[in-house]
């Protein structure tokens, strides 16, 4: 009868005991949330609020003088050539890396979604880059990307007659080169998540469609893709968010160069805040980034509402 | 999947798939191969022109040297301890919070959940300094508390658990209520046993995140006794150059445990993600 | 149930007693404990630890904890964060630009405070320190930090190759170009070995700026590196790559290519020698020489000094000063120099018997010691940190052929001047 009575509520009747029940359940829920919420409040919410407060100051972290400058930092970054460059670079990186990574991961997930011998080994192999510490991986990629004839990639290209490329030193190739490393790194995780999504699709859908005479491609387009859309959407969102926060890659591989072509927003925040100690300005940039990510996620949510099909 | 290959006999199709996977696998593993092979090169062969694809002899002593170069035994112990405690903690807090979001009604539920998700959109670097100051004020600098406590709450873990718990049939919850069970009892006795894949997934991802953590441990530890592995790897690089064979050796034995863990648990891992479904 | 409770109480009591003992000891005037934050990794770490151990042994009332914090960038971040959090170490390595920032925030105390005291430094002892090093540590007439691990830029070369080509070590720019040309080898229409490698960063440029008689600043608010001397210096570097084709551009460490025999010469600071030797792995002899010059011999000082934090108690500061004195004493600085290839900070260190014997067996170090005579310092205001990056960007643009030296240096000068003018 009491539709919204939850597990564990005392079996009383009447309006007063119902509100009391509701109150008790609220308290119980908050108690369940308390451990996680306490940690998150202190170590995630508080810093974010603190950073907002700092973004309104001009401060180098240790100077006792820290003037309040209002929105000056925000105004400045709107016209800051370096920040705008970083914004452009990061957007390019996010769009391309996700556009390359997801279809590739889906392809491999489809191949791995069969009962073939050694599938565990293949899956582990694809997963290795994801767990490799970037400090070591970056060094290996540095050797691959060494400019001139000495680099390994150039050495292999040389065999096919292609002249040596500058890779990380070429302003036009540096970002694509970084994107390749990024895709290499997240492929494993994306494949695993797609695998999970694929397994979620019941075999009966395929059987029914095949009985109707559907071909492989039609199966893919009309069964797999739509039923996979929650997974795709999930990966799209977390990949985008992660891509906009990219920092370790340019830090280890290019130092933001050449000519600031691989300067990303978080790298810019790091430079301003941790190298030049302009904490106020860095915090403002962080909030600008947050706003951007938030808007993009919202936009993705709008698209998802129309295109993502959840299973009944 | 593609209409072309559908028409091939199954044996050939499997061969074709193996071929693609092996080629892709080799390409993916190329940088990793470079790492491992460098870790086994004797000193004078590390930098040569042309590149030596296979060393003249396997320099296993690099591993011993890397191990003793810095107190890696201690680093390993630290990393293991921190990862295990953190994983256990995250499982507990995420299960509790995830359950509340999935199966309880309370004021502010949607708002709070959106707020939690929002924290994922802020780069972690922004939180470094305020958290450092907080840790200092608490007197936790250079202690295990600093390394573990800030990460005991995981928004991803909460989100994942919530997704998974939402798939538990309502009938079970109603039945438990009729039996007079509390939320906690229902969680403990029914939900948790049914959610093993979810726990394994969250545990594996948390363990991995903790194992690979670098920036935060670097900032809050001052002495080698408290440092985890990834910070230890940094000691091989400096302003003036890097010692590749030692770095690669250390990197290899730092990665090995997690790889083994993944290899063993991958089926549960994938199941966990699958059942959670990805509903936002 | 009962026995378990008893055990718990026993444990609690034991813990309380232990805690009381520890607290009691600290309060009753045990040894003074100080912390020293540094960025010395690789072979430098055991060298620091060894000196620290000896000091601790000789001074039973003091315990020095030398703690490696990461590379210089990380050390800088942690130091500033620690000062901001109110919990800094007792002493730390600092670059002059960091000293400027810390000084203006009243976070450090000048070492000059300790010169006259029981443990002070006599006039002779002070003058024994190389004047250029004293100057680098002096702000507003007072010496704020003590030079500790100072290095300078030198030319690293493949001694075997030079001998093979019958070349003597190049000294002037023209000799250098000729040598680089002789050392560049082609095979089948491709270059298999370059004479030199240019790293697109500020230091490669500023060393040549000074070598061409140029200067960093014209005044406190105006830079001078975009003058004719600077433009010529940058053009010379660009020509090495584009015109003479004896060098290539590499943004990272050159020791790897050097060890593989792909490049014959490069520029680095003294402590890079241990890494160069490791990369070479005994395949050939590594030589060091002063940098090539055009108008005036010059090189730039690098490396850090030690600063004492203001937050430390007077006892800790006094103890820290003793330790610093030990590290920079004739004996200390000589030992340090022999272990790490950093420069000795005292003339008596350079002239000591230990050093002289060492030089007899390892003559390549003479280059560094000789270069100390004409070493110069960079400006030390906190803004210079960012100006260095601005100059690096300009150098990169020129080397990659995006624009001419005059253009990029002028643009950099404009940005730099703006930063300097904003300084209060």
- ∠ Cα A85 A91 A94 (to 5°): 140
Report the alpha-carbon distance of residue C109 to residue C91 in Å, rounded: 10
Task: Specify the 3-state DSSP secondary structure of C402.
Answer: coil
> Quick one: closest CA in C to A163, which residue?
C190
pLDDT at site C48: 95
Residues of A in contact with C393 (CB under 8 A): 257, 259-260
pLDDT at site A9: 47
Are C101 and A169 an interchain contact pair (Cβ–Cβ within 8 Å)? Answer: no
> Quick one: closest CA in B to A229, which residue?
B278
Given pLDDT bands bounded at 50, 70 and 90, which one contains residue C21?
very low
Q: Which residues of chain A have pLDDT under 50?
A: 1-9, 311-312
Higher pLDDT, C173 or C6: C173
> Quick one: closest CA in A to B252, which residue?
A132
List pLDDT tens digits, range B31-83. Answer: 888 888 888 888 877 777 667 788 888 888 889 888 888 888 999 999 999 99
Report the alpha-carbon distance of residue C61 to residue A154 in Å, rounded: 61
Are B29 and A128 an interchain contact pair (Cβ–Cβ within 8 Å)? Answer: yes
In terms of average pLDDT, the best of A113-122, B14-23, C94-103, C350-359 is C94-103
pTM as predicted: 0.87
Nearest to C369 by CA among C297, C284, C270, C276: C270
Are A169 and C400 an interchain contact pair (Cβ–Cβ within 8 Å)? Answer: yes
Q: How far is A32 from chain B (nearest CA, A)?
A: 5
Residues of A in contact with C260 (CB under 8 A): 150
Residues of B in contact with A269 (CB under 8 A): 123, 125-126
Are B34 and A286 an interchain contact pair (Cβ–Cβ within 8 Å)? Answer: no
Are A258 and C200 an interchain contact pair (Cβ–Cβ within 8 Å)? Answer: yes
Percent of chain C with pLDDT over 70: 93
> Quick one: closest CA in A to C263, which residue?
A150
Cβ–Cβ contact A259 with B under 8 A: no
What average pLDDT does the segment C382-400 reach?
Answer: 93
Are C251 and A171 an interchain contact pair (Cβ–Cβ within 8 Å)? Answer: no
Residue among B50, B131, B185 minimizing CB distance to A43: B131
Q: How far is B148 from chain C (nearest CA, A)?
A: 19
Predicted-complex ipTM score: 0.85
What average pLDDT does the segment C192-212 reach?
Answer: 94
Is it the case that residue B152 has pLDDT exceeding 60?
yes
pLDDT at site B181: 87
List pLDDT tens digits, range C139-171. Answer: 999 999 999 999 999 999 999 999 999 999 999
Residues of A in contact with B214 (CB under 8 A): 133, 135
pLDDT at site B279: 45
Torsion sign, CA atoms A294, A296, A302, A305: negative
Cβ–Cβ contact B260 with C under 8 A: no
Give residues 225 to 264 of C whose Cβ lies within 8 Å of A: 248-252, 257, 260, 262
Are C249 and A147 an interchain contact pair (Cβ–Cβ within 8 Å)? Answer: yes
Torsion sign, CA atoms B192, B195, B197, B200: negative
Given pLDDT bands bounded at 50, 70 and 90, which one contains residue C25?
very low
**Domain layout of chain B by residue ranges:** 3-59, 70-239
List pLDDT tens digits, range C95-152. Answer: 999 999 999 999 999 999 999 888 889 889 999 999 999 999 999 999 999 999 999 9
Cβ atoms within 10 Å, residue C128: 19
The phi and psi torsions of A43 (rounded to 5 degrees) equal -105, -5
**CATH of the domain spanning B70-239:** 1.10.3720.10
Are C279 and B241 an interchain contact pair (Cβ–Cβ within 8 Å)? Answer: yes
Q: Report whether CATH 1.10.3720.10 matches the domain A75-311.
A: yes
Is it the case that residue C34 has pLDDT exceeding 90?
yes
What average pLDDT does the segment B246-267 reach?
Answer: 84
List pLDDT tens digits, range C35-60. Answer: 999 999 877 889 999 999 999 999 99
Report the alpha-carbon distance of residue C52 to residue C150 in Å, rounded: 18
pLDDT at site A309: 63
pLDDT at site C269: 92
Are C400 and A258 an interchain contact pair (Cβ–Cβ within 8 Å)? Answer: yes
Give residues 80 to 139 of A whose Cβ lies within 8 Å of B: 108, 110-112, 114, 116, 120, 122-129, 131-133, 135-137, 139
What average pLDDT does the segment C342-365 reach?
Answer: 90
Residue ranges, CATH 1.10.3720.10, chain A = 75-311
Q: How far is A125 from chain B (nearest CA, A)?
A: 6
């Amino acid at each position: 009868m009491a539709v919204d009575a939850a597990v564990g509520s005392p079996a009383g009747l009447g309006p007063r005991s119902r509100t009391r029940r509701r109150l008790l359940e609220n308290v119980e829920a908050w108690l369940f949330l308390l451990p996680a919420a306490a940690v998150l409040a202190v170590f995630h919410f508080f810093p974010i609020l603190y950073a907002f407060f700092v973004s309104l100051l001009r401060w180098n972290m240790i100077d006792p003088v820290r003037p309040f400058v209002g929105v000056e930092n925000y105004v400045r970054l709107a016209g800051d050539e370096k920040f705008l460059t970083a914004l452009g670079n990061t957007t390019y990186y996010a769009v391309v890396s996700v556009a390359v990574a997801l279809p590739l991961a889906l392809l491999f997930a489809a191949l791995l979604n069969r009962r073939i011998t050694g599938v565990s080994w293949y899956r582990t192999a694809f997963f290795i880059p994801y767990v490799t510490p970037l400090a070591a991986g970056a060094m290996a990629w540095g050797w691959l990307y060494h400019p001139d004839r000495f680099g390994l990639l150039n050495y292999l290209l040389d065999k096919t007659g292609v002249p040596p490329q500058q890779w990380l030193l070429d302003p036009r190739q540096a970002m694509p080169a970084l994107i390749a490393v990024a895709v290499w790194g997240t492929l494993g995780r994306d494949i695993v998540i797609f695998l999970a999504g694929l397994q979620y699709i019941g075999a009966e859908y395929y059987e029914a469609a095949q009985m109707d005479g559907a071909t492989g491609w039609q199966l893919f387009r009309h069964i797999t893709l739509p039923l996979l859309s929650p997974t795709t959407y999930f990966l799209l969102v977390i990949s985008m968010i992660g891509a906009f926060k990219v920092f370790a890659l340019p830090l280890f591989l290019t130092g933001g160069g050449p000519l600031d072509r691989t300067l990303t927003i978080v790298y810019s925040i790091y430079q301003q805040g941790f190298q030049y100690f302009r904490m106020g300005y860095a915090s403002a940039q962080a909030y600008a980034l947050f706003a951007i990510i938030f808007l993009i996620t919202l936009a993705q949510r709008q698209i998802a509402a129309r295109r993502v099909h959840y299973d009944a | 999947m593609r209409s072309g290959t559908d028409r091939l006999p199954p044996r050939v199709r499997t061969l074709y798939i193996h071929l693609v996977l092996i080629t892709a696998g080799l390409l993916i593993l190329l940088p990793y191969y470079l790492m491992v092979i460098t870790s086994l090169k004797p000193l004078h062969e590390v930098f040569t022109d042309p590149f030596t694809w296979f060393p003249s002899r396997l320099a296993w002593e690099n591993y011993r040297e890397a191990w003793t170069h810095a107190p890696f035994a201690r680093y390993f112990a630290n990393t293991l301890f921190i990862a295990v405690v953190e994983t256990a903690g995250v499982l507990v807090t995420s299960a509790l919070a995830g359950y509340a979001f999935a199966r309880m009604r309370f004021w502010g539920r949607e708002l709070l959940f959106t707020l939690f998700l929002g924290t994922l959109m802020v780069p972690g670097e922004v939180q470094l300094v305020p958290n450092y100051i907080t840790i200092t004020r608490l007197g936790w600098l250079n202690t295990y508390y600093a390394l573990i406590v800030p990460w005991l709450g995981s928004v991803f873990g909460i989100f994942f658990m919530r997704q998974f718990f939402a798939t538990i049939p309502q009938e079970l919850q109603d039945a438990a209520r009729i039996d007079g069970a509390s939320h906690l009892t229902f969680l403990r006795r029914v939900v948790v046993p049914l959610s093993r894949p979810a726990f394994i997934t969250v545990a594996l991802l948390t363990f991995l995140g903790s194992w690979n953590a670098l920036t935060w441990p670097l900032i809050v530890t001052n002495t080698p006794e408290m440092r985890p592995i990834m910070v230890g790897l940094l000691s091989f690089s400096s302003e003036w150059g890097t010692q590749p064979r030692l770095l690669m050796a250390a990197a290899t034995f730092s990665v090995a445990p997690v790889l083994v863990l993944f290899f063993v648990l991958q089926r549960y891992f994938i199941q966990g993600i699958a059942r959670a479904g990805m509903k936002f | 149930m009962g026995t378990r409770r008893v055990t718990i109480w026993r444990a609690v009591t034991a813990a309380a007693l232990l805690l009381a003992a520890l607290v009691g000891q600290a309060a009753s005037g045990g040894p003074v404990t100080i912390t020293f934050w540094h960025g010395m990794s690789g072979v430098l770490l055991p060298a620091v630890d060894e000196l620290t151990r000896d000091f601790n042994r000789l001074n039973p009332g003091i315990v020095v904890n030398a703690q490696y914090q990461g590379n210089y960038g990380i050390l800088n971040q942690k130091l500033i964060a620690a000062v901001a959090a109110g919990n800094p170490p007792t002493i730390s390595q600092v670059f002059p630009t960091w000293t400027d920032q810390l000084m203006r925030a009243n976070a450090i105390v000048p070492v000059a405070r300790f010169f006259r005291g029981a443990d002070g430094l006599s006039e002779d002892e002070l003058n024994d320190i190389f004047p250029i090093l004293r100057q680098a540590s002096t702000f507003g007439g007072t010496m704020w930090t003590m030079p500790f691990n100072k290095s300078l830029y030198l030319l690293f070369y493949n001694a075997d190759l030079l001998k093979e080509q019958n070349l003597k070590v190049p000294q002037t720019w023209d000799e250098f170009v000729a040598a680089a040309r002789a050392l560049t080898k082609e095979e089948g229409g491709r270059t298999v070995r370059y004479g030199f490698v240019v790293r697109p960063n500020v230091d490669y440029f500023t060393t040549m700026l000074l070598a061409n008689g140029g200067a960093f600043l014209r005044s406190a608010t105006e830079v001078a590196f975009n003058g004719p001397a600077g433009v010529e210096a940058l053009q010379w570097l660009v020509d090495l790559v584009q015109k003479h084709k004896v060098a290539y551009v590499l943004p990272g460490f050159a020791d790897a290519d050097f060890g593989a025999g792909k490049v014959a010469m490069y520029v680095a600071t003294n402590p890079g020698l241990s890494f160069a030797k490791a990369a070479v792995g005994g395949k050939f002899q590594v030589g060091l020489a002063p940098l090539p010059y055009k108008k005036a011999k010059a090189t730039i000082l690098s490396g850090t000094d030690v600063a004492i934090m203001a937050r430390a108690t007077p006892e800790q500061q006094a103890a820290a000063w003793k330790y610093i004195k030990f590290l920079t004493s004739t004996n200390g600085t000589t030992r340090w120099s022999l272990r790490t290839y950093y420069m000795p900070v005292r003339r008596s260190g350079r002239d000591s018997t230990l050093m002289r014997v060492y030089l007899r067996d390892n003559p390549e170090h003479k280059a560094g010691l000789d270069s100390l005579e004409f070493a110069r310092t960079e400006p030390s205001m906190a803004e210079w940190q960012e100006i260095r990056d601005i100059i690096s960007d300009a150098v990169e643009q020129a080397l990659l052929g995006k624009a001419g030296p005059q253009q990029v240096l002028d643009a950099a000068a404009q940005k730099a001047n703006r930063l300097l003018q904003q300084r209060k």
